[in-house]
Amino acid sequence: MDTARVIVAIGTEAANAKVKSFLAENGYLVVDTAEECNECLRKLSLYRPDFLVLDSSLPKLGGYEVAKVALEDGSCDVIMISSKAQEEIGFEMRDSSRFSFLIKPINKMLLINTLELMKRSGKRIKELEQEVEHLKSAIDSRKEVDKAKHLLMQHLNMGEAEAFKRIQKQSMDKGISMKEIAKAIILAYDI
């Protein structure tokens, strides 16, 4: 798998440096660090990392404001580090597969395992999303072709197989998808 790019914004330069070196040892590329919310937002926009490791009490707006923007605008996953076990996490974050929560002090192995898990599940979700898109498109296409087929059968007195072959041939001859041919047929008969 490609190296995941991370931005670390735990708070102080020292804390960031510690996490940065630990992540680097484990094969993650820490592209930058931040010590304050606006700085973090700027760097998110510039680097578009895969992950953001964030402290919930990051000055000045607090980690949750940054997390909201990261989850809504960016394509990065967020790991929130907090000192409070029970914290007010908005429902939109609790339900998101792109958000995780760890308590301080940071357990190094737990952090790595969380990152790994999010990386794997993120990849799987992306694959599934693409498959769904592909299937949706195929179903749409089939619906259109079916409709067009029935129109041809009705108006040109053809059998089902013949109608299908006609659409297929047009598609091959013109170099346009069968879906487009079907749409054109439907439109033509609409007039």
Partner 1 sequence: MIKYDKEDIIRLVKEQEVKFIRLQFTDILGILKNVAITSEQLEKALDNKCMFDGSSIEGFVRIEESDMYLRPDTNSFVVFPWRPQNGKVARLICDVYNPNGTPFEGDPRYALKRALKMAEEMGFDAFNVGPECEFFLFLTDNDGNPTTKTHDNGGYFDLGPVDLGENARRDMCLALEEMGFEIEASHHEVAPGQHEIDFKYTDALTAADNILTFKLVVKTIAQRHGLHATFMPKPIFGISGSGMHVNSSLTKDGKNAFYDKNDPLELSQDAYYFIGGIIKHIKYITALTNPNVNSYKRLVSGYEAPVYIAWSNSNRSPLLRIPATRGASTRVEVRSPDPSCNPYLALAAILSAGLDGIKNKISPPSAMDKNIYEMTEEERAENGIDSLPGSLEEAIALLKSSPYVKTILGDHIFNKYIEAKTTEWEDYKTKVTQWEVDQYLTKY
Residue 129 CB, shortest distance to partner 1, in Å, is: 17
Show contacts with partner 1 in window 151-190 (CB under 8 A): none
Does residue number 39 form part of the binding site for partner 1 (CB under 8 A)?
A: yes
CA distance 115 to 100: 9
Show contacts with partner 1 in window 42-61 (CB under 8 A): 42-47, 59-61
Which of 68, 147, 166, 183 touches partner 1 (CB under 8 A)? 68
Contact 36, 59 (CB under 8 A): yes
Per-position x/- string for 85-114, each x denoting binding to partner 1 as judged by CB under 8 A, each - no binding: -----xxx----------------------
Token digits of residue 21: 């070196």
Give Cα separations from 188 to 37, 147, 152, 158 (angstroms). 57, 12, 11, 17
Does residue number 116 form part of the binding site for partner 1 (CB under 8 A)?
A: no
Which of 17, 22, 29, 35 touches partner 1 (CB under 8 A)? 35
Does residue number 36 form part of the binding site for partner 1 (CB under 8 A)?
A: yes
* Nearer residue to partner 1 within complex by CB, 32 or 50: 32
**Stretch touching partner 1 by CB under 8 A, among 69-77, 101-109, 117-125, 141-149:** 69-77
> Tell me, what amino acid is at 56?
S
* Nearer residue to partner 1 within complex by CB, 66 or 181: 66
Longest Cα–Cα distance in the chain: 80
Handedness of CA 130, 134, 137, 139 (dihedral sign): negative
* Nearer residue to partner 1 within complex by CB, 47 or 101: 47
Give Cα separations from 134 to 27, 128, 141, 171 (angstroms). 33, 10, 11, 20
Contact 148, 167 (CB under 8 A): yes
Binding site for partner 1 (CB under 8 A): 32, 35-47, 59-61, 68-69, 72-73, 90-92
